[in-house]
Structure 1
Amino acid sequence: MNRTARGADLSTPFEPTPDVVDLGARRPDAASLLRLWAVLLLVLPAKLVLAPLGSAGSPAQVLGMAGAFWWAASHFLARLPQVRLRRPVQLAMGVFWFATLVSYIVAVTRPIEGVELSAADRGMLVVLSWAGILLVAGDGITTRERLDDVLRVVVAGTAVGALVGLLQFTTGTAFVDRIVIPGLTQNSAVTGVFARNGFSRAAGTSTHPIEFGVLLTMVLPLALHLALNDRRRGPVRRWFPVVAIGAAIPVTLSRSAILGLALVLVVVLPTWPKERRRWAYVALVAGFGAVYVAVPGLLGTMTRLFTGISSDNSALSRVDSYGIALQYVGLDPLFGRGFGTFLPRYHILDNQYLGTVVETGLVGLATFLALLVTAAVVAVRMGRRLPAVADRSLAVSLVAGLASAAAAAATFDALGFPQVAGCLFLFLGLVAALSRLTTQAGARRDPTAVAAAPTPGAGDLPGPLPAGRT
């Protein structure tokens, strides 16, 4: 059955709808790839990798690279479309990729140690994987229903990690260090339980409690969105991930997670009806009360993370990072020393923005910020103008998740942690997908919008190519 302008049918090879870059003719489709990727990223311990690829060789990252090649092949082989939509997020991703490529060229053309060169190679593979996930999501998800299928797996996978984290906190045992998968090896020692002020800090399947906490706050708004809008499932299936994720946030004992949670609430709550907000406040008070009763002393420890910040070694180290970063930036302010080449043995900056400007220069930092801002602007506009309540809710949830990640990037090396970095670029792709799908739906309701849309010339490809091909 041939695909029509309405449909999401994938039965005919390389015959995309006017607005969709075909990512393959038959099932499995783009959503299937993203769902498998989410399971590999969120359920498998983050430190399990394919040994020859090192830190770039996690199964999820390898699948992301495959997605990039799949997108590129389908993009070039697809039949020319009738209508071309604006794709600002994809374009911004292309510009960011190009900036990292320039930084890579700078790295390999200067005197460089072998260990840095290997790190630069791995860095470009990781960026390729991120681009693959963003582009597969942004250009490949064919229907709103398939987008929801991806959301369900992301939320469920995070909930699984949350349960593992809660078990780690209560037992003081990592558990993830006992998982052995043929063909995979531990990239470094798996430590699932850390300590702070006499409490175990859970890391779930993440590499560190900070990553775990930030991941939970990023995905929480999506879990709330599904709980409120996914009426096809029963209340237990909808609300259990919200409870699991919310309960796991305190046991990370992470300032980044607490700040992220506060930011998520600031973004999401004002968009809810007054009655729903009242219930949310009741739930928050009940949650804090449950933590106070179930784990005596935990709330006090969380409070001291902020009241004692002036004497906290980790906080002081972050302050010292600014001076160190400025010294390195002065060596090559425009394009940096090469993406991925500022190794932890030099200094742990604990600030992704500082790390980005050191490795890719002011140009790289500007393109990274432009990517985040572009997606946020697109999502905010959708949250205000889309007619469907569920679509507006999803747009706001994506804004909240991106805001949490953007804030956390100032407190730790976010792109150096696979789960947070992977979900960040997935969220960027989901913003692009929601924008495209809702624009398509609007065009079908208003045929004059299709007639007025620009048509590509004879040499054009489906949709604008990113600057620098992925």
Structure 2
Amino acid sequence: MLKSSEHRRLVPLPQRAPAQADAVTGLTVYAVVLLLVPSDRTIAQLGGAGTPAVLLSIALMVWWLWYRTRLANRVKFSNPVYLTFLAFAAAVMISEVVAASSHLPQPDQNAADMGILRLAGFAGAFFVAADGIQSKERLAVLCRRLVLLGAVVAALGLYQFLSGSVLIDRFPTPGLASVDAGIDMRSGFMRPRGTARHALEFAAVVSSMVPLAIALCIGDRKWGFLRRFVPVAALVGVSFISLTRSALVGSVLGILAMMPFWDARLRRRVVALGIAGAGAVMTALPSVLRAIMEMFEGGDSSVDSRTGSWDFAFQVFATNRLFGRGFGTFLPSYRILDNQLLLLVLEIGIVGTLAFLALLVTGVYCAIAGRTAGEDSLDSHLGVGLAASIISSATLMAFFDSFSFPQAPGVLFLVLGMSAAYWRLSKDSERLNPKISVPSIGNKKSRILAASVAVLVVLLALPIAQVIRQAPSTYWTQQDLVFLPPSSAVGGNSLRTDARDLIPFAALVKETYTGIHGPSTIEPVSAPIYGTGVHSGELVRVPNAGGQWQTYQREATITVEVLGSSAQEVSSTMEQTMTELTALAQEPQQQMNVKRSAHIITDVYPEEVVPVQIQSRAKWALLLLGFLTIMAAATAHELVLRKTGQS
């Protein structure tokens, strides 16, 4: 017995191999930074593109490029999600060429440059997930971690709702600037925002996590039931108390998208559990039910804001329908649309928007069609959950400008990358996406054909470069007509009782001018008229400090902007407009026989009109065009070689 015991002690115990960092590890770090670091913390000089999550995702992009260059095999173009993302990225870059070759204000130019960084941030998480996840098991691990992080954020949102305290504002982040978003109230309750910048961003993140949490709760047998159910309860529960239509609509649509893939028994259980959970919340917090009912009633200003600016948006859209005005360049100084899909139409045009919609559709399709196991397996439920998450996120894009925030698009493109990986790892992906058979030709002919196609791409870009180089400048100027009270206090002027009455008089003069000449070409909130894409015209308005939501005019001033093709044209038009406005200001006073000394008088500021030459950034536009041309030529060359059997 002793010898046997000694022998057993001498047998070395099996050692577990140390875990190696892989793509899932990197994406986990990215998800932690994305969801747990408050999204309002940024590097001030980089604006919205300077959040730690965006910068980390750009680092992931560099990592992916390094990874691809070290591989012996070349990139495969058979993944539909991969292809549509490349099409979307190309459309964004084309819109940046348009922005650089247009006459945009400096803030818009800066936003266009930041748009390239944001695209790189989207691409980093997407490509690392699409290319780097090595198995369905590792994909499930990433999904578990993502859901766990979502549950933590949901728990923070629940605390904020119950306590009325943001909490995250108490934790400083050295080196990062913080924008205090304040506390958003609705119906007497604080709208939770977790670590997000806004309650709507929080709603989008929570809603996109709900399908993934449900998929794991149903299909994952690795965790116990309680551990699987708590994230679902936290995410769905905070959707009810978030007091945002977006969270409710997104969560419900995500669940409805999953139901066709469940059996009847599971559907009944989920519906019963949902009704019981909603009843419990409403019983404990009956005032929340009233607040939810009020949200879906008419007359809400937040609903009006999503539709009241459509006319203006379509005017801007008409200036560049195909490729838009530049990704990220439609700033709040034009309008706040609260509709990301409409923003995409304006910023990347019809081509880019169709590419993005194709990306969403292929993401959903690949997650559904890539299922190879039985209906009740984790593999199957995970595919359904990924598809429903994309559907939920895509739907909520119609409710707010999601790309203006870091967390919502960060989660969306990560899930799209996971869908691409799911498709790649599915055994039937080759069967579902068959290769096109092309007869093989000789090696020399194949290379000549590939080189010819690449040269053709370059030749097609040359006329575009010539148009950019020869783009004409435009001239713009602005002048104010200031209304001043009479120099004496002689009575008899019914238009002046005190200084505040000068503002309605200025508005009257402006409306009289508009009645004669018609409304201005296009009227942004505060941006200069040339930023809208028009090349000539004038804008006459009384400055409104209330923005697009309300009328709040603080000064008796009429501001006139004139845009034209030459400095002489602009100066002449401005002089004529100011002369006519001055005459319109004097005419009603003369008709009322107001004493001359009691006239409301006008003055012009500045006294001298100095037209400003607005130029495009032609060199930057040519540089971007050259980059796109090289990438397109190289891609065309490679595809021709592959299709002819020489690569």
TM over 0.5: yes
Alpha-carbon shift at residue 100 of structure 1 (Å): 0.7
Q: Distance in 2 between the 1:146 and 1:245 partners?
A: 23
State how 1:32-111 maps to structure 2 within 5 Å.
32-80=25-73, 84=76, 86-111=78-103
Q: Secondary structure at the match of 1:237?
A: helix
Q: Which residue of 2 aligns with 1:360?
A: 348
Q: Which residue of 2 aligns with 1:288?
A: 278
Bigger Cα Rg = 2
Of 177, 181, 193, the residue aligned with 2:173 is 181
Alignment check: 8 A CA contact 1:91 1:466 kept: no
Letter in 2 for 1:126: R
Q: Deviations over 1:206-228 (max 9, x none)?
A: 11111111211111110111122
Alignment check: 8 A CA contact 1:97 1:468 kept: no
Of 385, 390, 404, the residue aligned with 1:397 is 385
Alpha-carbon shift at residue 148 of structure 1 (Å): 1.4
Alignment check: 8 A CA contact 1:177 1:190 kept: no
5+ residue gaps, structure 1, are 1-9, 12-25
Q: Distance in 2 between the 1:466 and 1:398 partners?
A: 31
Alignment check: 8 A CA contact 2:38 2:168 kept: yes
Q: Which residue of 2 aligns with 1:380?
A: 368
Q: 1:120 to 1:469 in 2, by over 3 A?
A: farther
Q: Which residue of 1 aligns with 2:212?
A: 222
Residue 417 of structure 1 pairs with residue 389 of structure 2 = no
Q: Deviations over 1:261-298 (max 9, x none)?
A: 22112111232222222221221111111111211221
Alignment check: 8 A CA contact 2:84 2:362 kept: yes
Q: Deviations over 1:384-423 (max 9, x none)?
A: x544722221111111111111111111112222111111
Q: 1:220 to 1:469 in 2, by over 3 A?
A: farther
Q: 1:317 to 1:66 in 2, by over 3 A?
A: same
Letter in 1 for 2:359: L
Residue 145 of structure 1 pairs with residue 137 of structure 2 = yes
Alignment check: 8 A CA contact 2:181 2:198 kept: no
Q: Which has the higher contact order (CA 8 A, sep 6+)?
A: 1
Q: Distance in 2 between the 1:270 and 1:102 partners?
A: 39
Residue 128 of structure 1 pairs with residue 120 of structure 2 = yes
Alignment check: 8 A CA contact 2:366 2:422 kept: no
Q: What is the RMSD of the two structures over their aligned residues, measured on CA atoms?
A: 2.9
Q: Deviations over 1:62-89 (max 9, x none)?
A: 11111112212221221126x9572111
Q: Secondary structure at the match of 1:206?
A: coil
Alignment check: 8 A CA contact 1:253 1:302 kept: yes
Q: Which residue of 1 aligns with 2:191?
A: 201
Alpha-carbon shift at residue 236 of structure 1 (Å): 2.3
Alpha-carbon shift at residue 54 of structure 1 (Å): 2.0
Alpha-carbon shift at residue 467 of structure 1 (Å): 6.3
Residue 342 of structure 1 pairs with residue 326 of structure 2 = no
Q: 1:433 to 1:43 in 2, by over 3 A?
A: same
Alignment check: 8 A CA contact 1:229 1:390 kept: yes
Q: Which residue of 2 aligns with 1:29?
A: 22
5+ residue gaps, structure 2, are 1-16, 451-629, 636-647
State how 1:175-324 maps to structure 2 within 5 Å.
175-186=167-178, 188-191=179-182, 193-306=183-296, 308-309=297-298, 311-324=299-312
Q: Deviations over 1:290-321 (max 9, x none)?
A: 11121122112212211x22x11111111113
Q: Distance in 2 between the 1:468 and 1:357 partners?
A: 27
- TM-score computed with the length of structure 2 as normaliser: 0.63
The structure 1 segments of at least 4 consecutive aligned residues displaced by more than 3 Å after TM superposition are: 385-388, 457-460, 465-470
Q: Distance in 1 between the 2:227 and 2:373 partners?
A: 27
Q: Deviations over 1:147-182 (max 9, x none)?
A: 112111211111111111111101111111112122
Question: Identity percentage over the alignment?
Answer: 38
- TM-score computed with the length of structure 1 as normaliser: 0.85
Q: Which residue of 1 aligns with 2:638?
A: none
Alpha-carbon shift at residue 121 of structure 1 (Å): 1.1
